[in-house]
Structure 1
Amino acid sequence: MRSVHAKVLAFSTEHSLFTPGDTVVVAVSGGADSVALLDILISLSDLRLNLVVAHLNHSLRGAESDGDERFVADLAASRGLPFAGEKADVRALSIRERLSLEDAGRRARYEFFDRVATQYGARSVALAHHADDQAETLLLRLLRGAGVTGLSAMAPRRDGRFVRPLLTLSRSEIEGYLHGRGLRFRIDSSNADTAFLRNRIRHELIPHLVRFNPEISRRLAVTADLLAVDEEVLETVADEALKRTAREHSGEGVILDVAGLLREPRGVRYRIYRRAVALAMGTLRGLSYKHVLQIDGLVRSPKPNLHIPVPGGVGVVRAYGLVTFKAAGVAGIEWEDELIIEGPGCYPLPDGGEMVIDVVSPPADLVTLPSERACFDLDCAPFPWVVRGFRPGDRINPLGMTGTKKVKDIFIDEKVPRERRRLVPLVFSNSELVWVCGYRTGHHARVTEKTVCTVLAEVRTSTGIALK
């Protein structure tokens, strides 16, 4: 018994799973592993943990499920610990969300444990996964197809809150502990049902692999741990790469620089794409290797404008040198009405930015004005001005040219992404387009040596990113 306690304490200390005095929710199903977990945590008296026993009744096995709930409630009472129990209709959740029973049960459990942890102010939720579970999970994900992220399997700590102190123990060590302590536990009949892939791996595949290596479960668990260490390094690399390639990240999506992406190794690009989808949608559910390859094909394509949908309702749009990841339900900013500028002042723009108008002395050097500023001869461009978004057919007589040019052609020349074209303000005076903000000013309204009154216009974006 002392050996088991020492191993769990050393593992918990190595991975900083607990701090003395922590409130910890213990997930107890009533089965062998979770009963052992509860008993071991109680025995680690030096940690002085305040334990809360939590049990979710999945309502899948009728009277047997109800018996499990009563057993866990009685176990908590016998140890003088608070008990939090709840029933969930996992089968209905499975049908409603189109999930397997296993996935639906997992979602229901984690949501329940989160609620209990919040209710009791718990820092951690302890789960009873052990080394053999680790091996089974690695094989399960290998059979379904996974990279390093998936094959690294279960980490000692997940999502900051969920901890797995028994990953250092094998199933046989846990069974020996239960026998030595004389602990009773419940047997879940569904664990023998080989209709579930995990059960087939446990009862059929691993026994077959034992013929090749008697220590197969332990070796697979070590492999998963080594992959988890590599995963930490790769995630750090991906974080830095995302910072290098991201042009913008807001509540509306993520914009990445194509040239920057193409400088990154292929494996790093793949991780950046996954990050971008997760940031845009909040989940990676349904995203497979096939979709990642499609995104990479879009990035590497010589075509400047492409669009593909990916699972989760995310649209990936390539527009010249930028790739935008955007949730399908997020509406773009539109010019619903024309903005009337009566004279000097500060006027709000639809994207949250503003247009500032001042009457000033002519600047010494008009050529050096940044793209977000422009000067006009007020006699040639009198107020009121009308500011609106781009419409097909809009034309301007650009400064220095004798004829007119389509605004659409200007956008194409400047490689302005289609989604951003509608956000560029167009300024009109006397129905003549005098400024495509950030790109071209009109020849007729230019400042000359004969100009008496000069007006300076400036566009300030909400993001602080330059117009061009």
Structure 2
Amino acid sequence: MDESTRPLADRFRRELDALGVRGTGAHVVVALSGGMDSVALLHLLRFAVEDDGLALTAAHFDHGMRAGSAADAHWVAGLCRAWGVPLRTARAGHPPRTEAEARDARYAFLRGIQAEAGATHLATAHHADDQAETVLFRVLRGTGVRGLAGIPPADGTGLVRPLLPFWRDELRAYARAAGLRWRPDPTNRMLEPSRNRLRHRVLPQAERVAPGARRALVRLAALAREDEAAWEAVLAPLVAESAREENGALLLVRDRFAAYDWPVAARVLRLLLRRLGAAPDRAGTRLALEFISNASSGRTLRLAGGVRITTEFGTARVERGPGPEPPPPDAPLLIPAVPGEGGLALGGARFAARWTAGVDAPADARWTLRVSADPARFPLLLRGWLPGDRIRTHAGTRTLKKLLGEARVPLRARLAVPVLADAHGTVLWVAGVAAAADAGPRPGEPAITLSIYDA
């Protein structure tokens, strides 16, 4: 290593140590566009880390958005051959229409290579100038404190950005001192993209108005990250008492959110939603909080990003995705007047049933009912509840919808509640909830014991 490049290389090694990359037997996929930044990153990782256990794989994605991009892929392949670095390449099936589409396609490719290679890390060449541009762009768009934190050095999934402490000028000086060559990207000089206008016009003007503006923006990002870390530590007990995870969803305690001051509730909710990969804006957060606090049970709110919030009595269930698949068709069970057993399926749940002339309820049964064996009632039918179902209890006739609601049975669980009806369709029993006033036998009347088990 040339002495003129040693100070930056020393700092780079310290940054890798801080990121937990060096000396850990890491395998790093390096995003390599062929530009100066990524070439310098690959050179540092290949020749300056002083870690024989570090494995590298370069990855180049051709977006196909400009003429000559295929030549970049060819040039990158030659560079990797010369440096002894394995290279994986891909080209977009069709040119992305926007910068956001290009970024999504690029990261999908890079993450795919990371997974295929079994790599521990994915390294990109974002540097301090990128950080300053990102923070300024977010300020102009009215971001919150989390947005001011800018580009994180690492994201917890193996993505690392070891060049973030370095400025473009010092990376270029390193590259020139090391005799590196790279592929210039002519689109970086175009003023149409918003980021380029910030880089070539707004930031230079800001430096003239407030010398050191770039460094101040980077410092602002560091302060915002510290604030966010402090907030997460302070909010941890509130998160623990107000939510739990269940089958990939979040169950929120509605009373807790209603009791918090709005700014605190908003931060707790956004912190929880980030677990699902969602990031609602201020309006979306306010709408969600009002819904969680005030909506009646059984309501659903859909937010941007595929987030669904469903109220279930004292909880609000938060999920992300297309929604649960409908359960398979029910398989009800017909019960004749003679003892027997059988199976049924309701709302995706499977049960076994047994009916006998015995009086004692089996200890292992989930639900048991002693029911009149009046022949006029048979055959009985074990099924799911239907719209319009009613049951006559000692407290009067009730709809099953109201009865299940008063019993606080969540909507998603109601489909799996067995309902016993007689040959005339009269509801005799809602398992685990209520029996009809005349379901049991009269004195001296024959009866059967119906028991239901989880299959």
- TM range, smaller chain: 0.7 to 0.9
Q: Is the 8 A contact 1:371 1:439 kept in 2?
A: no
Identify which of 58, 65, 69 aligns with 1:60.
Answer: 65
| Alignment-mate amino acid for residue 78 of structure 2 | D
Summarize deviations over 1:64-84 as a string: whole Å, max 9, x none: x23322332222122122222
Per mean C-alpha deviation after superposition, the further-off stretch among 310-319 and 412-421 is: 412-421
Q: Is the 8 A contact 2:309 2:318 kept in 1?
A: yes
| 1:113 has 2:110 as partner | yes
SS at match of 1:129: coil
Identify which of 29, 43, 46 aligns with 1:42.
Answer: 46
State the match for 1:12 in structure 2: 16
SS at match of 2:170: helix
- The 5 Å alignment of 1:402-441 reads 403-418=396-411, 420-430=413-423, 431-441=425-435
For residues 267 and 354 of structure 2, the distance between their equivalents in structure 1, rounded to whole angstroms, comes to: 45
Per mean C-alpha deviation after superposition, the further-off stretch among 154-163 and 321-330 is: 321-330
For residues 134 and 240 of structure 2, the distance between their equivalents in structure 1, rounded to whole angstroms, comes to: 32
| Alignment-mate amino acid for residue 33 of structure 2 | S
Q: Is the 8 A contact 1:24 1:122 kept in 2?
A: yes
For residues 433 and 275 of structure 1, the distance between their equivalents in structure 2, rounded to whole angstroms, comes to: 46
Task: Identify if the C-alpha distance between structure 1 residues 435 and 371 changes in structure 2 by more than 3 Å, giving closer, same or farther.
Answer: farther
For residues 326 and 270 of structure 2, the distance between their equivalents in structure 1, rounded to whole angstroms, comes to: 23
Summarize deviations over 1:406-444 as a string: whole Å, max 9, x none: 223323444555555444321123443121223211221
For residues 46 and 123 of structure 1, the distance between their equivalents in structure 2, rounded to whole angstroms, comes to: 18
Q: Is the 8 A contact 2:333 2:382 kept in 1?
A: yes
For residues 452 and 404 of structure 1, the distance between their equivalents in structure 2, rounded to whole angstroms, comes to: 26
User: How far off is 1:349 after superposition?
Assistant: 3.3
Summarize deviations over 1:316-357 as a string: whole Å, max 9, x none: 333543323354453343754533346346544333242554
* RMSD of aligned Cα (Å): 3.5
User: How far off is 1:4 after superposition?
Assistant: 0.7
SS at match of 1:168: coil
Identify which of 31, 37, 48 aligns with 1:33.
Answer: 37
User: How far off is 1:263 after superposition?
Assistant: 4.1
Task: Identify if the C-alpha distance between structure 1 residues 309 and 441 changes in structure 2 by more than 3 Å, giving closer, same or farther.
Answer: same
State the match for 1:457 in structure 2: 451
For residues 66 and 445 of structure 2, the distance between their equivalents in structure 1, rounded to whole angstroms, comes to: 87
State the match for 2:385 in structure 1: 390
User: How far off is 1:143 after superposition?
Assistant: 2.5
| Alignment-mate amino acid for residue 27 of structure 1 | A
Q: Is the 8 A contact 2:374 2:446 kept in 1?
A: no
For residues 447 and 212 of structure 1, the distance between their equivalents in structure 2, rounded to whole angstroms, comes to: 91
For residues 220 and 441 of structure 2, the distance between their equivalents in structure 1, rounded to whole angstroms, comes to: 71
- The 5 Å alignment of 1:53-452 reads 53-63=58-68, 65-89=69-93, 91=95, 93-94=96-97, 101-232=98-229, 234-235=231-232, 244-246=241-243, 249-250=246-247, 253-264=249-260, 266-267=262-263, 269-270=265-266, 273-274=269-270, 283-284=277-278, 287-301=280-294, 303-304=296-297, 306-326=299-319, 327-333=321-327, 336-341=330-335, 343-344=340-341, 347-357=344-354, 359=356, 361-362=359-360, 373-377=367-371, 379=373, 384-398=379-393, 400-401=394-395, 403-418=396-411, 420-430=413-423, 431-446=425-440
Summarize deviations over 1:253-283 as a string: whole Å, max 9, x none: 544332243345545644565577677xx65
SS at match of 1:386: strand
User: How far off is 1:193 after superposition?
Assistant: 1.8
| Alignment-mate amino acid for residue 109 of structure 1 | R
SS at match of 2:61: strand
User: How far off is 1:249 after superposition?
Assistant: 2.6
Q: Is the 8 A contact 2:390 2:427 kept in 1?
A: yes
Task: Identify if the C-alpha distance between structure 1 residues 410 and 119 changes in structure 2 by more than 3 Å, giving closer, same or farther.
Answer: closer
Task: Identify if the C-alpha distance between structure 1 residues 450 and 243 changes in structure 2 by more than 3 Å, giving closer, same or farther.
Answer: farther
SS at match of 1:331: coil
Normalising by structure 1, report the TM-score. Answer: 0.81
| Alignment-mate amino acid for residue 258 of structure 1 | R
Per mean C-alpha deviation after superposition, the further-off stretch among 239-248 and 159-168 is: 239-248
Q: Structure 2: where are the runs of 5+ without partners?
A: none
Summarize deviations over 1:9-30 as a string: whole Å, max 9, x none: 1111122134444332221212
State the match for 1:51 in structure 2: 56
For residues 142 and 63 of structure 2, the distance between their equivalents in structure 1, rounded to whole angstroms, comes to: 28
Per mean C-alpha deviation after superposition, the further-off stretch among 373-382 and 71-80 is: 373-382
Per mean C-alpha deviation after superposition, the further-off stretch among 269-278 and 70-79 is: 269-278
SS at match of 1:256: strand
Q: Is the 8 A contact 1:28 1:53 kept in 2?
A: yes
Normalising by structure 2, report the TM-score. Answer: 0.83
For residues 80 and 248 of structure 1, the distance between their equivalents in structure 2, rounded to whole angstroms, comes to: 46
Per mean C-alpha deviation after superposition, the further-off stretch among 143-152 and 230-239 is: 230-239
Q: Is the 8 A contact 1:362 1:454 kept in 2?
A: no
For residues 261 and 341 of structure 1, the distance between their equivalents in structure 2, rounded to whole angstroms, comes to: 47
For residues 106 and 27 of structure 1, the distance between their equivalents in structure 2, rounded to whole angstroms, comes to: 12
Q: Is the 8 A contact 1:371 1:438 kept in 2?
A: no
Task: Identify if the C-alpha distance between structure 1 residues 19 and 199 changes in structure 2 by more than 3 Å, giving closer, same or farther.
Answer: same
SS at match of 1:150: helix
Q: Structure 1: where are the runs of 5+ without partners?
A: 95-100, 463-468
